[in-house]
Structure 1
Amino acid sequence: MKYTLEIAIQKPIEAVAESFDSLENLKHWQRGFQKLEPLSGTPGEEGSKSKLIFKTGKRDIEMIETIVKKNMPHEFHCTYETKGVYNIQENYFEILDANATKWISKSEFRFTNFIFKVYSFLMPGSFKKQSYIFMKDFKNYLEKGTSVA
Structure 2
Amino acid sequence: MKAIKIILVVITMLVLLFFATGLIVKETKYTAQVSIDKPVEEVFNQFNEPENMKNWIPEIKSFETINKNQGITGSVYKLVVNNQGQDITMTEKVMAYVPNEKVTLFFDAENMLKKDDYIFTEKEGVTTVTLNASCRSDSYVMACMFPYFKGTFQEQDQTYLNNFKKYIEEEKEE
- Quick check: TM above 0.5? yes
- Structure 1 or 2: more helix by fraction: 2
Tell me the amino acid that sits aligned with residue 160 of structure 2. F
Partner of residue 107, structure 1: 133
2:58 is aligned with 1:23: no
1:37 is displaced (CA, Å) by 1.7
- Per-residue Cα deviation, 1:32-59 (whole angstroms, up to 9, x for no partner): 1111122223499211111111112321
User: Closer, same or farther in 2 for the Cα pair 1:10/1:123, shift >3 Å?
Assistant: same
Is 1:8 the counterpart of 2:29? The answer is: no
Do the aligned partners of 2:66 and 2:78 also contact (CA within 8 Å) in 1? yes
Report matched runs for 1:113-132 at 5 Å.
113-132=139-158
TM-score under structure 2 length normalisation:
0.76
Q: How far apart in 1 are the matches of 2:98 and 2:152?
A: 29
- The counterpart of 2:113, out of the listed 45, 62, 86, is 86
Instruction: Determine which structure has the larger strand proportion and give its number.
Output: 1
Count of residues in Structure 1 that have an aligned counterpart in Structure 2: 144
Question: Structure 1-normalised TM-score?
Answer: 0.88
| Structure 1 unaligned spans of 5+ | none
> Cα RMSD over matched residues?
1.7
Structure 2: which amino acid aligns with 1:104? T
Instruction: Structure 2 unaligned segments of length 5 or more: list them.
Output: 1-27
Which amino acid in the other structure matches residue 140 of structure 1? Answer: K
For residues 146 and 70 of structure 2, what CA distance do their matches in structure 1 show? 31
Higher alpha-carbon Rg: 2
* Counterpart residue number, 1:41: 68
Find out whether 1:143 has 2:143 as its counterpart. no
